[in-house]
Amino acid sequence: MDAGLLDLALTHRSFAYENGQIPTNERLEFLGDSVLGIAVTDYLYRRFPDHPEGQLAKMRAAVVSSVSLARVARRLGIGEMVKLGHGELSTGGRRKTSILADTTEALIGAMYLTDPSGAARFVHHLFDPLVDLAEHTGAGLDWKTSLQEVCATLGEKPPEYEITESGPDHDKRFVATAVVGQRRFDPAEGHNKKQAEQRAAAHAFAVLEPETHAAPVRPLAPGTAV
């Protein structure tokens, strides 16, 4: 990838503002969002020829969500490379779902400008498995429901959500934390309570779902309907 494009893809608007209004990664983010969308749509269309449009749309929305993008970013260590302003750095910007997701899209956009076929391969390598996960577990169609199912498999009580809110009425920010038993998971931010809870559930699901593969099969209680 061109070094200039890479640097631009990693430049958050907070850094640009503090350094003389230099260009930001937002245009690349816009491009990368479209590149990601068409690659995931193409895979969904070919992979599930019998699925109706509505189901494909829900799965696509899950796979290209900020939660999924941020998970990919964390795996790749993108947070440590983002150029942030002092304000974002002081509030944990390198870990924020929104910043990680936006930067991942910007990087995809930069890859596309450098090598369109390479960008497509990159997207398919990282995101096709997320499509398959959504298909097999129901995750992404409703993260809260999926997390509740995982908790049941592990013999845990249903998850609870701790909510905090901040900001003026016209620009509220909600932060949700999923709690399962004695375990607390990474918080997630949203423009409303529902969005924050869904994102928090996704964080918890990513940690707990692998544990279900080692969970013993629990016998049904007497009289349980099947």
Binding annotation:
29, 102, 105
**Which residue numbers belong to the known binding site for Mg(2+)?**
29, 102, 105
Distance, in Å, from the CA atom of 135 to the CA atom of 43, rounded to the nearest integer, reads 13
What residues have CB less than 8 Å from 172, skipping those under 6 apart? 165, 166, 191, 192
33 is catalytic: yes
Choosing from 33, 88, 189, 197, the catalytic residue is 33
Chain mean position to CA 101: 7
The residue whose two tokens read 């440590």 is 80
Q: What are phi and psi of 141, to 5 degrees?
A: -70, -35
Distance, in Å, from the CA atom of 13 to the CA atom of 21, rounded to the nearest integer, reads 8
Distance, in Å, from the CA atom of 211 to the CA atom of 76, rounded to the nearest integer, reads 22
Distance, in Å, from the CA atom of 78 to the CA atom of 108, rounded to the nearest integer, reads 12
The residue whose two tokens read 């936006």 is 102
Choosing from 53, 88, 105, 115, the catalytic residue is 105
42 is catalytic: no
The residues carrying an active-site annotation are: 33, 105
